[in-house]
Amino acid sequence: MNLTAEQIASLLGGTVEGNPKACVTSFARIEHGKPGQVSFFANPKYERYVYTSKASVLLVNSDFKPSQPVAATLVRVPDAYAAVASLMEYASAQGRQARWHRGFCRIALSARLGSKVWVGHFVTIGKGCSIGSRTRIMDNVTIGAGTVIGEDCIIYPGVHIFPGTKIGNRVILHSGCIIGDDGFGNVRRADGSWQKIEHLGNVIIGNDVEIGSNTTVDRAPSESTVIEDGVRIDNLCQIAHGVRIGRNTAMAAMCGIAGSAVIGEECILGGQVGVNGHITIAPRTTVGAKSAVIGSVRKPGTTIYGNPAIDHKTYLRAYALFKKAAEEE
């Protein structure tokens, strides 16, 4: 990246206050900013760093009124937090190589790759696969037969995608993801041993989904495990067979979703949340970190917490009583 303040303002629809030729080549947090770097200010508790930061350019909200002189060039934008995300996306796109690389790869003759697809070393693409234009497939990725991947996706190193998976446009799969492996299904025999249940379904991932490193999404025994548009899944999560995750839902690291659970749209799950199988969570539900959801949540917009998870206000009152009882002993 090599951009001037006026170029940044043009990209983000902002205005420059200071030196329009101030040049930046990298990003930094506002408290760590150095010359040649761009930072942003969006949270009022960091305002003191606006006046001490050495960054060459600061992205700030349009209505920000400094109380002291500011050395950096300001680029005023409607939303500084959203603006830095857009600028990072632009910088990332500029750094990608739009070319073929087919060295040390195994690509089936029947596979169809769109224009400007980038393929790294030691990639395997199976029979009948379809890869959309401008998708980037990095080293050591395995894509099973019959898989469909849309346009402008990024598949990071070490991802394994099993046969028959359907992936939309602009999807990001981080290193170590396993998409479409067998779910955990077994039936106990009369002698106490286990018989494996074969999984013949697949995984369907919508558009604009991002899945973190070492997360697994299992295929269904029949039909599909579905991740709808706009979902964000952090690292080290487990999405079991037959699960459906609604549009724009987000979950933090180490969440575990048991088989056939249905999570509504725009839900938020904190880290290490566990969701029981075969239950439904209503849209816009918020689940606090380390909670265990053992029954369906039927009212949209509910916030729950605890193990087992209950209404968060009820939990806080119960915790206050519990703490008080302990202190009185």
State phi, psi for 83 to the nearest 5 degrees: -65, -40
**Ranges under pLDDT 50 in the chain:** 97-99
Q: How far apart are alpha carbons 245 and 231 in whole angstroms?
A: 8
Torsion of Cα atoms, 109 then 112 then 118 then 123, to 10°: -40
Give the number of other CB atoms < 10 A from CB of residue 129: 23
Q: What is the CA radius of gyration of the chain?
A: 24
Tell me if the bond preceding 308 is cis, omega within 30° of 0.
yes
CATH of 3-95, one of 1.10.260.40, 3.40.1390.10, 3.20.20.370, 3.40.50.2300: 3.40.1390.10
Residue 98: what pLDDT? 44
With contact defined as beta carbons under 8 Å apart, do 171 and 153 qualify? Answer: yes
Q: Which residue out of 160, 174, 241, 312 is catalytically annotated?
A: 241
Q: How far apart are alpha carbons 93 and 80 in whole angstroms?
A: 20
CATH number of 106-314: 2.160.10.10
Q: Where in the chain is the domain with CATH 2.160.10.10?
A: 106-314
Q: In the annotation, is 241 catalytic? A: yes
Q: How far apart are alpha carbons 153 and 99 in whole angstroms?
A: 14
Tokens of residue 221, six digits = 């025994």
pTM comes to 0.78
User: Counting beta carbons within 10 angstroms of the beta carbon of residue 304, is it exposed (0 to 12), middle (13 to 18) or buried (19 or more)?
Assistant: buried
Residue 261: what pLDDT? 97
Q: Where in the chain is the domain with CATH 3.40.1390.10?
A: 3-95
Helix (H) or strand (E) holding 232: strand 232-233
